[in-house]
């Protein structure tokens, strides 16, 4: 944000300070800048602080929806093997080029090892608002298309849909559509866990009830992160970072530092500071923060450990090689003498001054994340209402640093996906103006619309991160659209190829009115 | 010898080749060597001396942070991918 505002205002970066605020989520729409340069200009003119708040309608109309899409998919199978896929993806970009069609085409086939494929991706410029990123941008629509076709293919070949996905799963070494070979990934393990789940093993019975499954993939970002770690003389530790906390990263980063230092989590005091107070941090987005800033936290923690060893060696008159650090204790390899973390911290003034560690890096070793979802639905053919009876989201989370936050990310993504599947849509008039820009007319799921979302956390550690971290925040929105469409097909025998599957569309389809 | 995976959209410049092996120590050297065999290739990837903003390089499966200046190992594999943003 600092770089973008500076560029718009033609100011040196040093003249722009961004103070991160607490927000409940970013979801992509908060990545671009909107009113920030305007507020800065008005502040400069008036010499006073300026605050500008967008109304809900302004947010709807001016902050960029995701792309409307048209996707055509043709696929072939021999027995239980997926042999070929051809697809064309058309993504609305709005008034300027730059839709998420690239990501859609690169994620579409990521769950599968398919030898023959041909993808055509079109960025379609139209006279409508510029589209923006939205959680796993481009991937949910692409997954809706391919996973619906995979469902049809498995049914046609009389193969269980999860077994079909397992047989054809991408694995380590499988090449993505862009030619890059996957590192260790966990799609196969997700499908296996789904197959063995209580949900999938339980029967689904009754009229107009059905079950659907779908898989999805999303990348993780790497990019730049900076952190500083300072040890207080009472043994507590200040963790200073600049990654805006939009989903619990402050806690998951503190936990990684506690693990590195071998001290209690409660002794870590994390702070997210402004852009003048820390080295550059790229955006909190792209499922990168727990992974990339976590890697910086690990490196800074290791620097503190090395400094602790040096201080103890000085006190004992030993070479540093004769001292080791483990589980928050510095120990002499020669005679077993030891200092706890708190004891070394207390002596910092007479061993060389404050103990700090820092790390600034471009994170390498990104993993990727898969999810496989199972959903049971009941369709009311008279009203068109779709009731979600049961939902289980299986996801390879690498290592779940903070399991309940990970679960929260998955549940949040699923609920957004349910909204896309069943109700949410921007409605534009003939001149491209949005006509449902309020929560009265834009129908989001509420707590009354969704059951408890069960989660199964599969842990296939990312070998590129010291704790095996994979970003978890985006992929859970990818499978729900297709999983629900597949469940509605199972319940009604009607294949929906257009979203949302709203009550009107369902009544029209089931009564031959479309 | 480094290997580059030719993107589908640029294969017409390279006689339909999907991959080329060329001697190169950096990404920039690799692109220039490919350009010598596939005239016009460099200009489709590099603009004003910089990687086009809509593209990124991956070296051995990892996005290359230094872009044109990234060093290549003796058996490096370079892929040109669309630049992506997350949500």
- Cα(A34)–Cα(A501) distance, rounded to whole angstroms? 32
The residue among A299, A302, A287, A286 whose CA lies nearest residue A226 is: A299
Q: Beta-carbon neighbour count of residue A79 at 10 Å?
A: 8
pLDDT value at residue A266: 98
Residue B53 at interface with chain A, using a CB cutoff of 8 Å: no
* Contact state of B5 with A28 under an 8 Å Cβ cutoff: no
Interchain proximity B81–A135, CB inside 8 Å: no
Catalytic residues of A: 474
Nearest to B87 among A133, A222, A366 (CB): A133
User: Following DSSP, what letter does each residue of B19-74 receive, concatenated?
Assistant: EEEE--SBHHHHHHHHHHHSTTHHHHHEETTEE-TTEEEEETTEE-TTGGG-B--T
Q: Which run of H or E residues covers position A393?
A: strand A386-396
For the beta carbon of residue A381, count every other beta carbon within 10 angstroms. Answer: 16
- Which of A180, A181, A290, A365 to probe the B interface (max B CBs under 10 A)? A180
- The proportion of chain A whose per-residue pLDDT surpasses 90, expressed as a percent, equals 92
Alpha helices in A157-283 (DSSP H): 161-167, 187-195, 198-201, 249-261
Nearest CA in chain B to A98: B54
Chain A from 8 to 27: CB within 8 A of any B CB: 26-27
pLDDT per residue as tens digits for the range B7-57: 888 999 999 999 999 999 999 999 999 999 999 999 999 999 888 888 888
Peptide bond into A500 cis (omega under 30): yes
Query: In this predicted model, what pLDDT tens digit does every residue of A457-494 receive, in sequence order?
Result: 999 999 999 999 999 999 999 999 999 999 999 999 99
Q: Which H/E stretch holds residue A107? A: helix A101-108
Q: At what angle do helices A480-492 and A503-510 cross, to 10 degrees?
A: 30
Q: In sequence order, what are the residues at sequence separation of 6 or more whose Cβ sits closer than 8 angstroms to the Cβ of residue A173?
A: A181, A182
DSSP A470: -
Q: Give residue A39's pLDDT.
A: 95
- Asked whether the beta carbons of B38 and B64 are under 8 A apart, the reply is no
Task: Find, among A402, A406, A21, the residue nearest to A244 by Cα.
Answer: A21
If you average pLDDT over residues A126-142, what whole number do you get?
A: 94
Lowest mean pLDDT among A13-27, A229-243, A281-295, A396-410: A13-27
- Give A1's contacts (C-beta < 8 A, 6+ positions apart): A18, A33, A36, A283
Tell me, what's the pLDDT at B86?
64
Are B57 and B51 a contacting pair, CB within 8 Å? yes
H or E element at residue A409: helix A403-422
Instruction: Map tokens 């001149």 to a residue.
Output: A431
d(C-alpha A104, C-alpha A216), whole Å: 11
B10 touches chain A (CB under 8 A): no
Q: Does B48 touch chain A (CB under 8 A)?
A: no
Longest CA–CA span in chain B (Å) reads 39
- What CA–CA distance (Å, rounded) separates A414 from A186? 19
Residue A420's pLDDT band, with cuts at 50, 70 and 90, is very high
pLDDT of B22 reads: 93
Report whether B63 contacts B57 (CB < 8 A): yes
Strands A368-379 and A386-396: antiparallel
> For A141-200, how does the pLDDT look when each residue is reduced to its tens digit (9 = 90+)?
999 999 999 999 999 999 999 999 999 999 999 999 988 899 999 999 999 999 999 999
State CA A97 to chain mean position distance.
24
What is the pLDDT of chain A when averaged over all its residues? 95
Tell me which of B66 and A204 has the higher pLDDT. Answer: A204
* ipTM exceeding cut-off 0.85 for this assembly: no
CB A80 within 8 A of CB A101: no
Domains assigned to chain B: 2-82 (3.10.20.30)
CA distance B30 to chain A (A): 17
Selected residues 211-240 of chain A with any CB under 8 Å from a CB in chain B: 218-219, 221-222
Please, are residues A466 and A201 in contact by the beta-carbon 8 Å criterion? no
DSSP string for A411-462: HHHHHHHHHHHHT----B-TTS-BS--STTTS----TTT---EEEEEE----
- A137 at interface of B, judged by CB pairs closer than 8 A: yes
Kind of pairing between the strands at B2-5 and B77-82: parallel
Which domains are assigned to chain A? 2-62 (3.30.365.10), 69-166+186-220+367-510 (3.30.365.10), 224-362 (3.30.365.10)
């Amino acid at each position: 944000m600092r770089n973008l505002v500076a560029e718009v205002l033609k100011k040196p970066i040093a003249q722009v300070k961004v103070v991160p605020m607490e927000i409940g989520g970013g979801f992509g729409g908060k990545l671009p800048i909107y009113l920030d340069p305007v507020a800065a200009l008005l502040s400069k003119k008036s010499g006073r602080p300026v605050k500008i708040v967008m109304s809900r309608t302004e947010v709807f109309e001016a902050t960029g929806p995701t792309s409307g899409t048209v996707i055509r998919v043709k696929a072939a199978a021999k027995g239980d093997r997926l042999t070929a896929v051809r697809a064309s993806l058309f993504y609305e970009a709005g008034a300027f080029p730059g839709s998420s069609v690239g990501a859609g085409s690169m994620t579409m086939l990521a769950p599968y090892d398919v030898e023959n494929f041909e993808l055509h991706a079109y960025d379609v410029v139209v006279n409508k608002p510029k589209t923006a990123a939205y959680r796993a941008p481009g991937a949910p629509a692409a997954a809706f298309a391919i996973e619906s076709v995979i469902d049809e293919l498995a049914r046609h070949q009389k193969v269980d849909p999860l077994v079909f996905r397992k047989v054809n799963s991408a694995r380590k070494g499988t090449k993505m559509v862009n030619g890059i070979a996957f590192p260790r990934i966990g799609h196969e393990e997700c499908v296996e866990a789904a197959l063995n789940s209580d949900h999938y093993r339980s029967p689904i019975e009754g009229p107009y009830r059905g079950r659907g499954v779908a898989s999805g993939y999303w990348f993780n970002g790497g990019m730049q992160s900076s952190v500083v770690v300072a040890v207080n003389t009472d043994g507590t530790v200040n963790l200073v970072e600049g990654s805006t906390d939009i989903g619990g990263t402050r806690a998951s980063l503190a936990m990684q530092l506690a693990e590195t230092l071998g001290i209690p989590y409660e002794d870590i005091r994390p702070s997210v500071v402004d852009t003048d107070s820390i080295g550059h941090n790229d955006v909190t987005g792209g499922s990168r923060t727990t992974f990339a800033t976590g890697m910086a936290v690990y490196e800074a923690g290791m620097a503190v450990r090395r400094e602790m060893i040096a201080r103890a060696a000085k006190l004992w008159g030993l070479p540093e090689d004769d001292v080791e650090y483990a589980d928050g204790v510095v120990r002499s390899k020669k005679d077993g003498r030891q200092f706890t973390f708190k004891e070394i911290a207390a002596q910092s003034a007479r061993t060389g001054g404050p103990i700090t560690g820092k790390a600034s890096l471009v994170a390498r070793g990104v993993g990727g994340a898969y999810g496989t979802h199972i959903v049971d639905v009941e369709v009311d053919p008279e009203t068109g209402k779709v009731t979600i009876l049961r939902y289980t989201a299986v996801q390879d989370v690498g290592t779940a640093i903070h399991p309940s936050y990970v679960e929260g990310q998955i549940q949040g993504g699923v609920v957004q996906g349910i909204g896309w599947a069943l109700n949410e849509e921007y409605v534009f008039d003939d001149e491209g103006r949005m006509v449902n820009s309020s929560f009265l007319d834009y129908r989001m799921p509420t707590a009354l619309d969704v059951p408890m979302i069960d989660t199964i956390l599969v842990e296939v550690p990312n070998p590129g991160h010291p704790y095996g971290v994979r970003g978890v925040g985006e992929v859970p929105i990818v499978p729900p659209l297709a999983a629900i469409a597949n469940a509605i097909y199972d319940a009604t025998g009607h294949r929906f190829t257009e979203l949302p599957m709203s009550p009107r569309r369902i009544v029209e389809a089931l009564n031959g009115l479309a | 010898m480094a290997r580059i995976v030719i993107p589908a959209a640029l294969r017409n410049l390279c006689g339909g080749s999907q991959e080329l092996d060329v001697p190169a120590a950096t990404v920039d050297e690799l692109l220039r060597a490919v350009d010598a065999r596939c005239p016009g290739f460099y200009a489709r990837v590099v603009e004003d001396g910089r990687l086009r903003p809509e593209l990124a390089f991956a070296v051995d499966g990892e996005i290359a942070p230094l872009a044109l200046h990234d060093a290549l190992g003796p058996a490096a594999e370079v892929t040109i991918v669309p630049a992506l943003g997350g949500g």
